[in-house]
């Protein structure tokens, strides 16, 4: 599929997919809590480092950028994972961030593979990219939260009653909100039919749908346990060529932390 130019892409996303403000479901988060959410996501994905804001993981065919390791595919590449970096750039421009001109003219990731990305790590392009991403942590956090907000109507219709009820319980505490915000960025919403192994998804909808009933105070721990089960199933069903077993321990540790205070 031929991609649109970045200005056209920004116009389309602004009209259709990129919300102008953080969703109402985050009303339980104070500004200080919102910033803590951003820092925890940054720590989870990038070890909290500026260098980690521009990454390309071994064995992957896309760059992972920003505090949420938003995916950016090179020209001609695609995959089962949603490309989230171009919508992020549209959102950052909409919110007034000073986006480098080269990004606005580059609809595809300009590095064709991991080796070229690493060789170019100290280039002006990557330095300007890290500067943009380090200076827009709150906006990136709001972008992730907005994705959760957009998912809720579909969760109610496609994720099932248990998933929606779990969402409602988790929404009552900052810790529960953080668990959903981080996980939807981490492993997606679970509603994309292409994101399946052996017909089984691993996103937010699956985690919520497999949660045990819990009080608002118990819900983050119940979410953490459900996430570990869902991710273990993903690894079991994954293609052998991806060797996802190597990631499972780290994934489980990340999920276990959802039970901790925000």
> Tens digits of per-residue pLDDT, 29-88?
788 888 999 999 999 899 999 999 999 998 899 999 999 999 999 999 887 788 999 999
> Beta-carbon neighbour count of residue 122 at 10 Å?
7
| pLDDT score, position 4 | 41
- pTM score, whole prediction: 0.76
Rounded to whole angstroms, the Cα distance separating 6 from 90 reads: 8
Q: Report, in angstroms and rounded to the nearest whole number, the Rg of the chain calculated over CA atoms.
A: 18
Rounded to whole angstroms, the Cα distance separating 73 from 48 reads: 23
Rounded to whole angstroms, the Cα distance separating 262 from 250 reads: 20
| pLDDT score, position 84 | 93
pLDDT of 5 > 60? The answer is no
156 — pLDDT class (breaks 50, 70, 90)? confident
pLDDT over 70 percentage in the chain: 89
Question: What is the mean predicted confidence (pLDDT) over 18-27?
Answer: 41
18 Cβ contact list (under 8 Å, min separation 6): 87, 90, 91, 94, 143, 146
Name the average pLDDT for the chain: 87
Alpha-carbon separation of residue 16 from 26, 40, 53 (angstroms): 21, 29, 27
| pLDDT score, position 22 | 37
180 Cβ contact list (under 8 Å, min separation 6): 148, 167, 170, 171, 204, 208, 223
> Tens digits of per-residue pLDDT, 171-223?
999 899 999 999 998 999 999 888 999 999 999 999 999 999 999 999 999 99
Q: SS3 for 248?
A: helix
> Tens digits of per-residue pLDDT, 104-152?
999 999 999 999 999 999 999 999 999 999 999 999 999 998 888 888 8
> Tens digits of per-residue pLDDT, 239-261?
998 889 999 999 999 999 999 98
Burial 39-52 (b: 16+ CB within 10 A, else e): ebbbebbbeeeeeb
Residue 177 has φ and ψ, to the nearest 5°, of: -60, -45
Q: How many residues does the chain have?
A: 262
| pLDDT score, position 28 | 60
pLDDT over 90 percentage in the chain: 69
Question: What is the mean predicted confidence (pLDDT) over 152-171?
Answer: 88
| pLDDT score, position 126 | 97
Q: Where are the alpha helices (DSSP H) in 74-202?
A: 85-94, 101-104, 114-119, 124-134, 137-154, 161-170, 174-187
Q: SS3 for 174?
A: helix
| pLDDT score, position 16 | 35
Rounded to whole angstroms, the Cα distance separating 74 from 33 reads: 35
């Amino acid at each position: 599929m031929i991609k649109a130019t970045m200005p056209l892409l920004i116009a389309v996303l602004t009209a259709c997919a990129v919300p102008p403000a953080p969703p109402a479901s985050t009303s339980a988060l104070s500004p200080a809590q919102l910033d803590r959410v951003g820092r925890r996501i940054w720590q989870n994905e990038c070890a909290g480092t500026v260098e980690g804001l521009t990454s390309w993981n071994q064995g992957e065919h896309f760059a992972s950028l920003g505090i949420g390791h938003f995916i950016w595919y090179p020209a001609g590449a695609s995959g089962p994972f949603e490309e989230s970096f171009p919508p992020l750039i549209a959102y950052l421009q909409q919110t007034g961030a000073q986006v480098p001109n080269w990004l606005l003219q580059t609809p595809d990731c300009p590095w064709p593979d991991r080796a070229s990305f690493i060789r170019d790590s100290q280039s002006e392009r990557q330095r300007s990219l890290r500067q943009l991403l380090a200076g827009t942590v709150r906006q990136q956090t709001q972008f992730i939260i907005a994705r959760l907000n957009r998912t809720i109507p579909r969760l109610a219709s496609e994720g099932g009653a248990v998933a929606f009820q779990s969402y409602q319980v988790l929404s009552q505490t900052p810790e529960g909100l953080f668990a959903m915000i981080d996980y939807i960025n981490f492993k997606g919403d679970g509603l994309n039919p292409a994101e399946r192994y052996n017909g089984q998804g691993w996103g937010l909808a699956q985690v919520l749908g497999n949660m045990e009933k819990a009080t608002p105070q118990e819900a983050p721990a119940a979410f953490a346990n459900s996430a570990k089960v869902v991710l273990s199933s993903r690894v079991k069903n994954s293609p052998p060529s991806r060797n996802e077993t190597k990631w499972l321990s780290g994934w489980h540790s990340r999920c276990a932390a959802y039970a901790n205070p925000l």
